[in-house]
Chains A and B, each alone.
Chain A
Amino acid sequence: MKNDLAGRRAARDWTQADLAAALGVSRQTVISIERGRFDPSLPLAFLIAQTFDCAIEDIFTPD
């Protein structure tokens, strides 16, 4: 899956550590998601979408 998590995070001026803390996951998880090497679980995807106040499909799109 592709995602624009890095862009959205940068737009809010959050570091990867900030986002990881907000999501309750490790910074490595955020890095891996942003680079498209790890697809988040559905609960985590919902949490990410809620954190950015949007829908899941606004952030994640199929390849």
Chain B
Amino acid sequence: MGESLDAARKACFTRGMSKAYFTSTSPRRGRVPFGHYVLALALGAVLTIAVALVVAATNPDDFWLAAGIGALCAAYPSVSLGLKVFVSNNTVSRDERGEQSVELLWMRQAGSGAFLDVLIATIVAAVIVMVFRFEVDALPVLLALIALSAVDAGLHYFVIRHRALK
């Protein structure tokens, strides 16, 4: 089996296809130098401290409290950025032909389905609010719409994927 598959790959390659087609089949996992993790953490620490100092400087009356809250808020995204810059290039391989995969179709279908659902739900809710003269705050409503969109799109994707593969 291996030989014939290799032959097919070679045949494709000799017909001018990009070598990149086959790079995604051998992801470079587990080859991250230890120093890259150190650099990622160092970058995360520097950014966290910088944000904490900026937040603290704008709240001099509660300097250390503000610095602590700023550090708590900044730590996760800062370390994530460090990992993205120094680690993910060694652990995540680019999907060279991702646009050809069926997952993109599923995502588009899920997105359009969720959009229609949220549109209809918004119209119905607006009519109810208008008819019964409810008074609601805009912020929770908008947050609920965002949550509904995300959950609905996820459910759509799950159902579409399940139907396509069963």
Contacts and interface: CB of A to CB of B under 8 A. Distances in A.
Contacts of B9: 22, 51
A23 interface: yes
Contact of A44 (B1, B4, B8, B100): B100
Contact of B101 (A14, A18, A26): A26
Interface size class of A (residues with CB under 8 A): 20 to 34
A21 B36 CA distance: 29
Given A22-B5, A24-B24, A31-B164, 17 more contacts: A12-B5, A13-B4, A18-B1, A21-B25, A22-B9, A22-B12, A22-B22, A25-B101, A26-B101, A26-B102, A29-B100, A31-B165, A35-B164, A37-B164, A38-B102, A44-B97, A47-B12
Interface of B: 1, 4-5, 8-9, 11-12, 15, 17, 21-22, 24-25, 95-97, 100-103, 105, 161, 164-165
